[in-house]
Structure 1
Amino acid sequence: MKVDITDYKSIAYREAGKFEETRFEKIHNVIFESSLEASTIVAQEIASLIRDKQSQGLPCILGLATGSSPIKVYEELVRMHKEEGLSFSNVVTFNLDEYFPMDKHNIQSYHYFMHEHLFNHIDILSENINIPDGKVPTDELYQFCIDYEMKIKSYGGLDFQLLGIGRTGHIGFNEPGSHLNSGTRSITLDHITRVDAASSFLGIDNVPRKAITMGIGTIKSAKRIVLLAWGNNKAQIIQQAIEGEITANIPATYLQEHHNTTFVLDHEAALELTRVKTPWLVTSCLWTNILKLKAVVWLSELLNKPILKLTDKDYNDNGMSGLLTEEGTAYDLNIKMFNQLQHTITGWPGGKPNADDTYRPERATPEKKRIIIFSPHPDDDVISMGGTFDRLVEQGHDVHVAYQTSGNIAVSDEESLKFAEIANLFEPNAEIDKIISYLKTKRESDIDCLEVRNLKGKIRRGESLGATRYLGLKDENVHFLDLPFYETGTIKKGHLTSADINIICDLIERIKPHQIYAAGDLADPHGTHRVCLNALFMALDELKLKPYMNDCWVWLYRGAWHEWESYEIDMAIPMSPDQVLKKRHAIFYHQSQKDGVMFQGDDSREFWVRAEDRNRLTAKKYNDLGLAEYAAIEAFKRYHF
């Protein structure tokens, strides 16, 4: 199907982001470097539509989505209302969906979400807000859905529909199997959808099994559709939706039949698109060094051949003849790329003393470095880089660990009650009694009181100190930052402020590090890892002109969910079998996160198992490319600020 990009809005996206129509793509899409930039452009389109309708004296009918993806869009609309006079007096909204059953005052309800992020801050008329009622009696639900559908049609359909996308490919709550012509209805949620929502509900057992949703047919009747997707956890489903065949198994593919749809993506969400992942299959390439390495690694993995065994024919048969034209022969190219990968491997993450560092990832001097390991939660350091942490301490560097958040929300009530009751056995007091009473009577929707949050934070502090002592770190080198943005007592966090940034700046100023390690997870723009990384980046931007920052290198590690691709790795730290076991034991100190962890996602393995499997897989990938065989490897990418 030919993509229609004649609409002026699509042209605006084309100019703002990266768009190249290819034979693989069946939906118009635009790639932005950041979700913030993309969200601003989307908000501007919505504002333009509202103003156009106002000038014609007409209502503007908006279909709205919830979830983390549209949050920045709503924030920008609120800003335009407050600072630029954008009025919503002519706007009528219809929300896509709502959990069922769900009280509208519950903080997990989409009614609560929409008022929290948008409606409470603009001049929309309350009677113009339409959100499915999660408390409608079951015997009235069928008629309610018909009435909701008819009300949309009474306005002539939706002028604009904003969408997110789930990992099942669902839009709204139209799960796999949804019919092309489906209307507003109740639906049973897919297990993966419930798993993805589990963190917001403090466990999958608390996630409703049903929902009310607009149908595929309702969505497709909108005059304009914009779908948002951020982060690498959406990359696979985005590729299938844009490049795959239309199928009920991936409801988002139905949008290929809509004449005015745009997928707005950040770079991470677009990683699996052919023009991003393997651009040499799409067009002639400007062969930068990183693209050469990416292509050679891809070809090696595709053919299951070590790099040094790739032939001219292998390159020519797989759309890479242009690369050979530049490089001469496969032999020359293979050796160059093999050496580049080999130079990433080092057993000296802080640099090897008295060694030629020309081809090493880190500097030999100074011999003993000051190092800060930033850990978003109190266990990310050992889960993600426990072997490297151990190596840095063993090799005599001045290592500091900075836990950016307390991680208190990830401690279960059962674990907290256990600690409170033990404390009460030693020294009964009113505060402990209050905590025990609260935990025993706490309701599902209750927000933890300050005393309980403090207890949960102390539990995680104690576990962290146990792990760092086991790795040989002095207590005075462990820093609990407790960044304010996190301390809300709920899943929903506050915004980063100067208070957060100043805390990080103060620590960096005090230590003046030669190395900084930080979690480089870029999946969810509103997830704690991403917010903590943004806080560090903002601090580095403030400090970058300080003389000592000229000697500071930043290394990014990945969390328990994803790993850097082989071609992205700038430093690979091999681990012996003994070191793998030592890392495992360090993780075990975080006992509150070991069994029945609250934010496990769709992976049933415990974090220590995930970490070991991931490290083994990285080592296997290096070995399959023709490099030395190791038990495990931790990987890092250098960030240039």
Structure 2
Amino acid sequence: MLSKYPLSDVEKSFFKESGVEKISTQIPYLMVDNFPKLGLLTACRFLEWAAANPEGVISLPTGKTPEFFIKWTQYLLDNWDSKKGKEIRDQYGLGSVKKPVLKDLTFVQIDEFYPISSSQHNSFYDYVNKFYIQGFGLSKEKAILINSDEIPLAQGKSYQEIFPDLKVDLSLRYREPENELEQLQQESIYLIDQWCGDYEQRIRDLGGIGFFLGGIGPDGHIAFNTRGSHIFSVTRLTETNFETQAVAAGDLGGIEVSANRLVITIGLDTIVYNPEAVAIIIAAGEAKAGIVKDSLETKLSNVFPATVLQKLKNGRFYLTRGAGVKLTDSMDAYYEKGEWTFEKTERAVIELCKKLNKYGHRLKLSDLKADKYCKLIPDLSEETVGQVMKSIETKLAKGLEKETEQTLLHTGPHHDDISLGILPHITNQLNEPTNEAHFSVLTSGFTAVTNSFVIDTLQHTKKLLDEDKIQMVNFEDFFEVGYSLKTDKDVYHYLTNVASENADARKRGLCHRVVRALVIVYDVKNKTQLRETINDVISILRKSYDGEKNPAKIQKLKGMIREFEEELVWAHFGVQVKNVHHLRLGFYTGDIFTEQPDKTRDVEPIVDLFRKVNPTKISLTLDPEGSGPDTHYKVLQATAAAVKKWSEEKDLSDLRIIGYRNVWFKFEPHEANVIVPVSLGDMSVMEDSFANCYLSQVNASFPSYSHNGKFSTVAKRTWVGQLNDIQLLLGKNYFYLHDRAKVRASHGLIFFRDMNVDEFLATARELEKSIEGML
């Protein structure tokens, strides 16, 4: 299909390298191996276009997705005539292109939250100025930007005066104002609408956008054109949907903020107004695979906004292989090319059960022969389905095996990852007294704690100090050494008050730990300094805007709150504080583009932990290709490097690596080799421990886009869904008539992969290719 469309020299080069043989989608796409390569492709195509259109109109994305687009663009411009620069240009279709000059391009800002100060570092206005206007050397005078501070409002007032709570009620467009403030708000909304119309006209007066680059949201939104946006929509002030608010929560400091913030966005028709426009959507990682499939394989529809690119001959999707893994083209290639493995047989048969909604024992040979993929199974016979069922039963049997005399080290990128991933499996291990368990969270997780949570906690701490209910500060040696003692007692007393349902005493337990943390972080020497420190932190946080990067000491304080929460969870099962290790790897900084793991700073602490614990089993998150700069992904690479280094000094032939997934990604049955039954009791333990211990997370300030609530509920739904898939293959009778009570009690299943060191390092090496080629 791609041959029907005009391909640039850059696109021809990348298409040839991709090895893709068939494209049958509604919009053409190019596919690359990894996230940095996606940035290289996009940068090359942008520079190719800019060289041919030196005074053109461009619109480029914000957020984390364009990280490598920005880095590669700057690299190529800085190294256009260097040896490496020439090699890259020759390889990817830029060999004969004259170095583009970007200063005469007109930049159009795609979208912005409203209202938000242009001086905030989490505003898109600030991002655009930092990374594009300054970073690319574009003209600020020619740029068409969205600056909330400069959009005129009623009586010349500021948005802080018109919208004092930063909420804009769009119903005022259609109803009568009820008071003087609402009258001003209504007039202001009309003025904003007029401003948006003028913004749109400025773009159209230039002939429209010539080069558009955007990401795609979990609901399919491009810019802030969410699911259901009109195909002919234009620049406007509008609300967003939950999925978009959940994604924006990280930028704005929590769903509490993003749910109440409107947006100004260019429309779908704005993007395609210029019929000659090059419009590209970029997507990376398997998390985007579902919406990519829907957007590429569906005819023009307001349900999937990106389908609007079908209007353009130069509309494209640029994808990583992970993002394209669910495309029909990719599925066809998976089954039709390469060696046929039993994994393919498993996948084809289980998917057929779902497609036909038939139990495995009811599948007929004729069903398999009629299926597009099952018919490709070598030696297809009446026994094929039975072989798949037996394989799944073997995986379930492995999940029931009793483990003894093991030293277990369970690791996670964030606090709550381990619990949400494999808690029922861990409880099985902890019930065996010959096992020793350790837990380690590898980052400090401070970005998940809101300012408001810390302020509330510190205010309550002050109240308890005033009431002399934190008596440990009265001990003579508390500020010298006492603050570091009896941390297990903190945890035990907290959980005792969970049992007695004493909410006030639980909060007091948290405040006790916060006092210890304040002494450590701020080197507090006495009660007076303690009160001053609490007041200072509250003052700093109150003056901070939501989503602002905190000072390092407040980051550490937030991280220590999360560490206390993790200790509480594992103390449910008698695990002592000394067996919960907090590594706080240095790459985790809270910046929009975080650093890559460093061998000394980030890998050596993990190796030291291995040496100290000497585990026989290590668990870790084994996510597929992510969106590039994500914490799970970087922690995996640091852990793999640590395992490799440890293997150079110790025989690890008996070490097992457990790869699990949780709420962000999940294994398909054919990918896992161990299946663990989950009972209602297991689910209750997970839900209760999450609600009682992860205090900063119960309100779900940074939720999954798939659920407006606690992550524990998302995990439970994942486990239930996995049981449904396996029940469809094995039949419900298999479960409730099984000879093992654990299986009969199954109302969910956990999938994971058990590997030896060589298998793990080979898997990690495949994933590591996604960070090769970085600058």
Which TM-score bucket, shorter chain as reference?
0.7 to 0.9
Other-structure match for 1:371: 408
Once the 2 structures are TM-superposed, how far is the Cα of residue 462 of structure 1 from its aligned partner?
1.8
In structure 2, relative to structure 1, the CA distance for the partners of 1:44 and 1:99 (3 Å cut) is same
Other-structure match for 1:34: 34
In structure 2, relative to structure 1, the CA distance for the partners of 1:541 and 1:83 (3 Å cut) is farther
Other-structure match for 1:559: 662
Once the 2 structures are TM-superposed, how far is the Cα of residue 318 of structure 1 from its aligned partner?
2.1
In the alignment, is residue 481 of structure 1 matched against residue 583 of structure 2? yes
Once the 2 structures are TM-superposed, how far is the Cα of residue 112 of structure 1 from its aligned partner?
1.5
Other-structure match for 1:227: 281
Other-structure match for 1:624: 728
2: CA distance, partners of 1:39 / 1:303: 40
What one-letter code is carried by the residue in structure 2 that aligns with 1:601? S
Other-structure match for 2:239: 188
- The 5 A counterparts of 1:395-410 are 395=432, 396-410=434-448
- The 5 A counterparts of 1:138-153 are 138=153, 140-142=191-193, 144-153=195-204
Other-structure match for 1:387: 424
Q: 1:276 aligns with which of 316, 330, 334?
A: 330
Other-structure match for 1:420: 458
SS in structure 2 of the partner of residue 237 of structure 1? helix
Q: 1:290 aligns with which of 343, 364, 389?
A: 343
In structure 2, relative to structure 1, the CA distance for the partners of 1:174 and 1:605 (3 Å cut) is closer
2: CA distance, partners of 1:385 / 1:70: 33
In structure 2, relative to structure 1, the CA distance for the partners of 1:165 and 1:307 (3 Å cut) is same
| Conserved? CA contact 2:566–2:694, under 8 Å | no
| Conserved? CA contact 1:232–1:269, under 8 Å | yes
Other-structure match for 2:609: 507
Q: 2:750 aligns with which of 593, 618, 634?
A: 634
- The 5 A counterparts of 1:271-350 are 271-277=325-331, 287-320=340-373, 322-324=375-377, 326-329=378-381, 331-346=382-397
| Conserved? CA contact 1:134–1:212, under 8 Å | no
- The 5 A counterparts of 1:126-275 are 126-135=140-149, 136-138=151-153, 140-142=191-193, 144-153=195-204, 155-207=206-258, 209-220=261-272, 221=274, 223-275=277-329
In structure 2, relative to structure 1, the CA distance for the partners of 1:278 and 1:116 (3 Å cut) is same
In structure 2, relative to structure 1, the CA distance for the partners of 1:487 and 1:180 (3 Å cut) is closer
Other-structure match for 1:66: 62
In structure 2, relative to structure 1, the CA distance for the partners of 1:3 and 1:502 (3 Å cut) is same
1: CA distance, partners of 2:56 / 2:613: 55
| Conserved? CA contact 2:593–2:629, under 8 Å | no
In the alignment, is residue 50 of structure 1 matched against residue 87 of structure 2? no
Once the 2 structures are TM-superposed, how far is the Cα of residue 596 of structure 1 from its aligned partner?
0.9
What one-letter code is carried by the residue in structure 1 that aligns with 2:282? L
What one-letter code is carried by the residue in structure 1 that aligns with 2:718? R
1: CA distance, partners of 2:681 / 2:719: 14
1: CA distance, partners of 2:75 / 2:2: 37
TM-score by length of 1: 0.86
| Conserved? CA contact 2:108–2:144, under 8 Å | yes
Once the 2 structures are TM-superposed, how far is the Cα of residue 347 of structure 1 from its aligned partner?
5.6
In structure 2, relative to structure 1, the CA distance for the partners of 1:626 and 1:44 (3 Å cut) is same
| Conserved? CA contact 1:2–1:26, under 8 Å | no
What one-letter code is carried by the residue in structure 2 that aligns with 1:564? F
Q: Deviations over 1:340-392 (max 9, x none)?
A: 2222124668x757xxxxxxxxxxxxx64443222112221112111122223
Unpaired segments ≥5 residues, structure 1: 354-366
1: CA distance, partners of 2:233 / 2:709: 37
What one-letter code is carried by the residue in structure 2 that aligns with 1:385? I
2: CA distance, partners of 1:460 / 1:304: 43
Other-structure match for 2:690: 587
| Conserved? CA contact 1:423–1:432, under 8 Å | no
Greater shift after overlay, 555-564 or 424-433? 424-433
Once the 2 structures are TM-superposed, how far is the Cα of residue 238 of structure 1 from its aligned partner?
1.5
In structure 2, relative to structure 1, the CA distance for the partners of 1:604 and 1:193 (3 Å cut) is closer
Other-structure match for 1:433: 532
In structure 2, relative to structure 1, the CA distance for the partners of 1:240 and 1:500 (3 Å cut) is same
| Conserved? CA contact 1:460–1:590, under 8 Å | no
SS in structure 2 of the partner of residue 548 of structure 1? coil
In structure 2, relative to structure 1, the CA distance for the partners of 1:101 and 1:581 (3 Å cut) is closer
1: CA distance, partners of 2:241 / 2:3: 31
Greater shift after overlay, 428-437 or 27-36? 428-437
Q: Deviations over 1:60-85 (max 9, x none)?
A: 53221112221221122233344447
Q: Deviations over 1:264-292 (max 9, x none)?
A: 122332233223346589x6785332221
1: CA distance, partners of 2:346 / 2:280: 35
Once the 2 structures are TM-superposed, how far is the Cα of residue 626 of structure 1 from its aligned partner?
0.6
2: CA distance, partners of 1:583 / 1:526: 29
Other-structure match for 1:111: 125
**Percent identical across equivalent pairs?**
21
Once the 2 structures are TM-superposed, how far is the Cα of residue 184 of structure 1 from its aligned partner?
3.3
What one-letter code is carried by the residue in structure 1 that aligns with 2:410? I
Other-structure match for 1:448: 550
In structure 2, relative to structure 1, the CA distance for the partners of 1:411 and 1:78 (3 Å cut) is same
1: CA distance, partners of 2:429 / 2:109: 52
Other-structure match for 1:11: 12
What one-letter code is carried by the residue in structure 2 that aligns with 1:529? H
Larger Rg: 2
Once the 2 structures are TM-superposed, how far is the Cα of residue 398 of structure 1 from its aligned partner?
3.8
Relative contact order: is structure 1 or structure 2 higher (C-alpha 8 Å, sep ≥ 6)? 2
SS in structure 1 of the partner of residue 209 of structure 2? coil
1: CA distance, partners of 2:439 / 2:216: 36
In structure 2, relative to structure 1, the CA distance for the partners of 1:544 and 1:431 (3 Å cut) is same
Once the 2 structures are TM-superposed, how far is the Cα of residue 43 of structure 1 from its aligned partner?
1.4
SS in structure 2 of the partner of residue 518 of structure 1? strand
Once the 2 structures are TM-superposed, how far is the Cα of residue 162 of structure 1 from its aligned partner?
0.6
2: CA distance, partners of 1:46 / 1:513: 49
Q: 1:77 aligns with which of 55, 73, 76?
A: 73
| Conserved? CA contact 1:3–1:27, under 8 Å | no
2: CA distance, partners of 1:482 / 1:521: 20
Other-structure match for 2:767: none
| Conserved? CA contact 1:280–1:320, under 8 Å | no
Greater shift after overlay, 26-35 or 529-538? 529-538
In structure 2, relative to structure 1, the CA distance for the partners of 1:513 and 1:128 (3 Å cut) is farther
Q: Deviations over 1:481-520 (max 9, x none)?
A: 11122244x6764553342233333333544544321123
Q: Deviations over 1:577-617 (max 9, x none)?
A: 44444444443442414531211234134333333332233
1: CA distance, partners of 2:647 / 2:209: 48
Q: 1:575 aligns with which of 655, 658, 678?
A: 678
SS in structure 1 of the partner of residue 751 of structure 2? strand
1: CA distance, partners of 2:571 / 2:318: 46
1: CA distance, partners of 2:594 / 2:374: 50
| Conserved? CA contact 2:6–2:314, under 8 Å | no
- Matched residues, number: 618
Q: 2:135 aligns with which of 116, 121, 131?
A: 121
In structure 2, relative to structure 1, the CA distance for the partners of 1:415 and 1:167 (3 Å cut) is closer
2: CA distance, partners of 1:176 / 1:392: 44
In structure 2, relative to structure 1, the CA distance for the partners of 1:122 and 1:328 (3 Å cut) is closer
Q: 2:598 aligns with which of 480, 490, 497?
A: 497
In structure 2, relative to structure 1, the CA distance for the partners of 1:46 and 1:512 (3 Å cut) is farther
In structure 2, relative to structure 1, the CA distance for the partners of 1:541 and 1:63 (3 Å cut) is farther
2: CA distance, partners of 1:578 / 1:168: 34
What one-letter code is carried by the residue in structure 1 that aligns with 2:619? Y
- Root-mean-square deviation (CA, aligned residues, Å) is 3.2
1: CA distance, partners of 2:226 / 2:686: 40
| Conserved? CA contact 2:113–2:263, under 8 Å | yes
